[in-house]
Amino acid sequence: MSINRVIISGNLTRDPELRSTAGGTSVLGFGVAVNDRRKNQQTGEWEDYPNFIDCTMFGARADALNKYLSKGTKVTIEGKLRWSQWERDGQKRSKIEVIVDELEFMSSRNSDVQYSSGQSYGQQGGYQPAPQASYQPQPAPTIDASSSVYDEDIPF
């Protein structure tokens, strides 16, 4: 069994580029900078090292999000990794990119439309508030020492 799922959070490195396939499907391409923390061996200090991740989104969602994304927008992306290979000027090239399934805005944007943390755009189409988890501690169940779990029929 293999699982191809990735979640990243970071800032857009450039304005998104919207294009279309020959068949008319919209394709939105953008980059996200994701920091990795490493300890500098000379100074002993922790430092951020950016990773630049190419992301691609397809279809109506690509059209809809194009007008709300711009360089610097903080987002969380969920999707799958895709490796592609091509040849240019006689040299083989390859890259790994994230095919975006879900995108959540992590910062508000100063424009006519405000989308703040907690707004997400998923496969269902349209913007929806992200589910807010609320944890309510529950008392531990009391166990009657006179009964046993073996007294009950438990289906398997």
Q: pLDDT tens digits, residue range 89-126?
A: 999 999 999 999 999 999 765 543 433 334 445 544 44
Torsion angles phi and psi, residue 91, rounded to 5 = -110, 135
Return d(Cα 62, Cα 69) in angstroms, integer. 10
Average pLDDT of the residues in 81-92: 95
* Secondary structure letter of residue 149 according to DSSP: G
Average pLDDT of the residues in 134-147: 48
**In the prediction, which pLDDT does 149 show?**
43
Return d(Cα 93, Cα 96) in angstroms, integer. 11
> Is the pLDDT reported for residue 50 higher than 50?
yes
> Is the pLDDT reported for residue 154 higher than 80?
no
pLDDT band at 137 (very low <50, low <70, confident <90, very high): low
* Secondary structure letter of residue 65 according to DSSP: H
Question: Which amino acid is residue 134, in one-letter code?
Answer: S
**In the prediction, which pLDDT does 107 show?**
77
